[in-house]
Amino acid sequence: MQSLQYLEIILGYLVCGIVGMFGLVLVWKMLNNDIDLKNLLSDDDGQASSSRFQLMVFIFVIALSFFLVVVSNVKIRQSGLPKPVGSGQQGSSQPDSPIPDVPGGVLALLGISASSYLVSRGISASTNGTTTTTTTAPGATVTTTTPDKKTP
Amino acid sequence: MAGLTQVIIWEVWVLLFALFAVLALHLLTGQINTSGLFMRKDGARTFSPERVQLLLATFAAAFQYLNQVVKDPSHLPEVAPRWIALVGGSHAIYLGHRFYLNRSDKKK
């Protein structure tokens, strides 16, 4: 039993190291422009897009908040202290899980943000004379953008 | 196991910080294209107040939410309905104006 626990910890460190290396390689490639971020905020016309920018801001803020809450919950579990009253785990399937529930308001904010981006893309596509078609199949959604047929 | 948890937490902190730093550096040095962020996309390329208000509302809502989490990181706080209304209204103004400009351009 003792050896299994050691194996579990060794594997944990190994996976942690591999994921960390992947992350650092990605960041290094971004820093050296091997991964080109020039058009991260750009629309098809090459101009920066407000809708892309606000979507990026919201995603970063929610991701950072989620991580802060997970770290806080892990620390509470390790210290053995009881969770504070009203800590939002009432609806969780695992009350002791450090993974927090995401409130409906946060999902609404992300939904508004992502919908705005999509609608903005649709308006851009119609301005540029293109047609965007979305095909939904079980387990996959494919969006294709094709130029409008020009009449002779 | 507690040691492994600490390593994971530090690893994610380092990766998140590195990612934010790289993005901030690219934004500040102009390696990520931000030209025209506050400009209309019509032919005139004039200053666009609706884009400015969208970004102000975004930053206000994001800062307010992050502030709530930092104050009490035991759970993800609920977003007050007035903030959802503010962000929704701001997006409606932005999209409505884009739609209006798009229609005007097509009529021309």
Q: What is the ipTM of this complex?
A: 0.87
A22 touches B at CB < 8 Å: no
Dihedral, B92, B97, B103, B106 alpha carbons, nearest 10: -130
- Mean pLDDT computed over every residue of chain B: 88
Q: How confident is the model at residue B48 (pLDDT cuts 50, 70, 90)?
A: confident
Q: B90 with B102, same domain?
A: yes
Q: B28 with B54, same domain?
A: no
User: Residue B19's domain spans which residues?
Assistant: 1-34
User: What does the alpha-carbon distance between residue A70 and residue A64 come to, in Å, rounded to a whole number?
Assistant: 10
User: What does the alpha-carbon distance between residue A113 and residue A135 come to, in Å, rounded to a whole number?
Assistant: 22
Query: How many angstroms separate the CA of residue A16 from the nearest CA in chain B?
Result: 7
How many domains does the structure of chain B reveal? Answer: 2
Quick check: B100 and A124 in contact, CB under 8 A? no
Q: B27 with B40, same domain?
A: no
- Mean pLDDT computed over every residue of chain A: 79
pLDDT score at A31: 92
Q: B48 with B89, same domain?
A: yes
Share of chain A above pLDDT 70, in %: 72
Does the beta-carbon distance from A27 to B22 stay under 8 Å? yes
Question: Residues 46-85, chain A: which have Cβ within 8 Å of B?
Answer: 46-51, 53-54, 57-58, 60-62, 64-69, 71-74, 76, 78, 83-84
pLDDT score at A147: 54
Answer yes or no: is pLDDT of B46 > 90. no
Q: B56 with B95, same domain?
A: yes
Question: Residues 99-138, chain A: which have Cβ within 8 Å of B?
Answer: 100-106, 108-109, 112-113, 115-116, 119-120, 123-124, 126-127
Select the residue of B4, B66, B76 nearest A100 (Cβ to Cβ).
B76
pLDDT score at A92: 47
pLDDT score at A90: 47
Cβ atoms within 10 A of the Cβ of B48, count? Answer: 21
What's the mean pLDDT in A82-105? 65
Q: B52 with B99, same domain?
A: yes
Q: B42 with B8, same domain?
A: no
Long-range CB contacts for residues A2-8, cutoff 8 Å, separation at least 24: none
Q: B20 with B56, same domain?
A: no
Question: Residues 19-78, chain B: which have Cβ within 8 Å of A?
Answer: 19-20, 22-23, 25-26, 31-39, 41, 51, 54-55, 58-59, 61-62, 65-66, 69-70, 72-78
Select the residue of A64, A86, A124 nearest B66 (Cβ to Cβ).
A64
Q: B9 with B46, same domain?
A: no
Task: Using an 8 Å CB-CB cutoff, list chain A residues near B8.
Answer: 16
Q: B28 with B72, same domain?
A: no
| pLDDT, tens digit (0-9, with 9 covering 90-100), for A17-56 | 999 999 999 999 999 989 988 888 888 778 888 999 999 9
Pick the closest to residue A57 from B90, B106, B108, B46 (CA basis): B90
B2 touches A at CB < 8 Å: yes
What's the mean pLDDT in A49-77? 90
Query: What SS3 class is residue A137?
Result: strand
| pLDDT, tens digit (0-9, with 9 covering 90-100), for A138-152 | 555 555 555 554 433
| Helical segments of A32-103, H only | 50-79
